[in-house]
A = this chain, B = another copy of it.
Amino acid sequence: MVEYADASPEVRAVYDDIMSTRKTDSINNFWKSLAKNPSTLRRTWEDIKQIMAPGTLDALTKELIYLAVSATNQCPYCMASHSASARKKGMTDEIFGELMAVVGMANETNALAAAYRVEIDEQFRTSGP
Residues of A within 8 A of B (CB): 28-30, 33-34, 36-37, 39-40, 43-44, 47-48, 50-52, 55-57, 61-62, 64-81, 83-84, 87, 92-121, 123-125, 127-129
A66:B102 contact, CB within 8 angstroms: yes
Name 28 A/B residue pairs within 8 A (Cβ), A-sorted: A36-B96, A36-B97, A37-B93, A37-B94, A37-B100, A39-B50, A40-B97, A44-B108, A44-B112, A47-B108, A56-B95, A56-B98, A61-B61, A65-B65, A69-B111, A70-B106, A70-B114, A71-B114, A72-B73, A72-B111, A76-B120, A78-B110, A80-B125, A83-B128, A103-B112, A103-B115, A116-B129, A117-B129
A74:B114 contact, CB within 8 angstroms: yes
A102 partner residues in chain B, CB cutoff 8 A: 51-52, 57, 62, 65-66, 69
Among residues of B, the one whose C-beta sits closest to the C-beta of A27 is B121
Q: Min CB distance, A83 to chain B, in Å? A: 5
